[in-house]
Structure 1
């Protein structure tokens, strides 16, 4: 059985990741379940767009598009969704490479018509060659990877993680696209949670929708050296708090913080205890990992408080628009 057609969207923004982008595209082209197309959406960088267009000029299944919305990851993804032709739209980070059966495991999840999204497992590839001894696995979300505390196997979840995820194309017809004004914007403050907000909107639009994570759908995500330092860890945790405040403002704290309550009351205390136990057993980095968890919680909590105050004063800082297909006559404009 062939399975549904998949459009893969890779959002790119800088030539500094040139080799990573080529590796990401190569990993999609090597899939056991072939992608219908790969859409490279370039975020307001004409030089990069022209270079990619030359690189893939003779490659029919790879299309290079300009982000037609405001600068940022959310608008780039929406551009890719609008131009996509597949029944399923998958997203891959521009500095990640997918394992060969990535799309095979994604598509198998859609046998149930209630399934609207399937995410996967993201494994860090540390620039230094190994995980920093102080860096707790409970905070791997800081570097865009699957973290300790997420369920294993193929399980139902509140939201998938955006850099390794797929959605039915009809999900965007029901819920709209990714919210702009939230999430990544090039190298600015590392905000996030745009996929969380979308998934909550989706399940509100269709209460019987199932959102899954299948940890067999694996990608390997490069972690640059600058993100292995505590300064980035603290900044990213603070930015996550800001983002959670926006999400809670949009969809309510009940749903917006549902998973986070379990994470902070169960997963993180267990991580602190594990770190302290390792310290007592003279294992490297145990006390540092416990301290990093506490510092990360404090940074995220501080960001949430600041973000909540800002949201109350200024209202929601992002908007959601429907995502329509780009018809064949418009594809030339999107490619220019």
Structure 2
């Protein structure tokens, strides 16, 4: 099978990340597997849109465009998908840089025609220079990174993680785009799970679809100082519980929570045990990590309970859009 053409979508929203955005684009342009194009989708920020348009006005491989939908990451991604030309559409966070073979590893995954999505490994780059001693690796998803508990190597999964992921264009034709109303809205609403909901919808629409992660497709994701604090940890975990309630309402608790059950009953207890063992051995942060895991579970459960109650009282808070755009190459 021929190598697929890949478009890369980077959703941006604030000038505070200007240098990060430039670094993200540069990392795409330096790939060993050349991208067809990089699409910078600006989320309702006219000043940033104008600044980026001027910065890349002579770059034939970079397209700057405004989010055509409601404010938020999901609508921004849908805008990028509709404007892209690639047979495969990849997504990169605006505060991350990709290693040189990132797109090559994605392309290799699509040699199998059953594969509809390929994700990669996201490594945290802590603002303080090192992981906070109390912060458990099992909760690295809180800062948008690959967490302990995911399978190593190239493995089949229920869903990929949105900041380091790719999909065949036909996946969106089969299942629609990212659901609006469920994902992030800049720094205002730390919800998530939009890629989980999409992936479950995709495998329902295409029962034979294969979704993979490949830990050789690596990006490095910056974690600002504010997200190294327990207050952010708690807020993000609470929001994840709310998000999971929305997903469970949309696709059913069986599919919506299948991976989470294994994570909660196997991965997290093992993490608590490691933390307590480290505490007994007087290793730094052991008790803090064990306590953070327990607090995280209880907080997420509280968010899920509140989200479920809200869902029962009103209509669905999100909407799935069909993707319409240019014909792919």
Same structural fold, with TM-score higher than 0.5 when normalized by the shorter chain: yes
Give the Cα–Cα distance (whole angstroms) in 2 for the partners of residues 150 and 311 of structure 1: 29
Q: In structure 2, what is the Cα distance between the partners aligned to 1:185 and 1:158?
A: 24
Moved over 3 A (4+): none
Q: Contact (CA 8 Å) 2:85, 2:327: kept in 1 or not?
A: no
Corresponding residue SS for 2:321: coil
Pairing 1:266-281 to 2, within 5 Å after superposition? 266-281=266-281
Shift of 1:316: 1.3
Equivalence map 1:112-191=2 (5 Å): 112-191=112-191
Partner secondary structure for residue 111 of structure 1: coil
What's the counterpart of residue 310 of structure 2?
310
2:85/2:326 contact within 8 Å kept: no
In the alignment, the residues of structure 2 paired with residue 324 and residue 70 of structure 1 have an alpha-carbon distance, to the nearest angstrom, of 16
- TM-score scaled by length of structure 2: 0.99
Match of 2:102 in 1: 102
Give the Cα separation in 1 of the matches to 2:285 and 2:165.
32
SS of alignment partner, residue 65 of structure 1? strand
CA deviation vs aligned residue, 1:13-59 (integer Å, no higher than 9, x gap): 00000000000000000000000000000000010000000000110
Secondary structure in structure 1 of the residue aligned to 2:38: strand
Verify: 1:260 aligned to 2:260, yes or no.
Answer: yes
TM-score (normalised: structure 1): 0.97
What is the count of residue pairs matched by the alignment?
A: 328
RMSD: 1.0
Q: What is the rounded CA distance, in whole Å, between the counterparts of 1:111 and 1:325 in structure 2? A: 25
CA distance in 1: counterparts of 2:205 and 2:189, whole angstroms: 30
Superposed CA offset, 1:187-226 (max 9, x none):
1120000000000000000000000000000000000000
Offset of 1:327 from its aligned partner?
6.8
Which blocks of at least 5 consecutive residues in structure 2 are unaligned? none
Residue 227 (structure 1) aligns with: 227
Counterpart position of 2:72: 72
CA distance in 1 between counterparts of 2:261 and 2:169 reads 31
1:155-177, CA deviations, whole angstroms, 9 ceiling, x for partnerless residues?
A: 00000000000000010000000
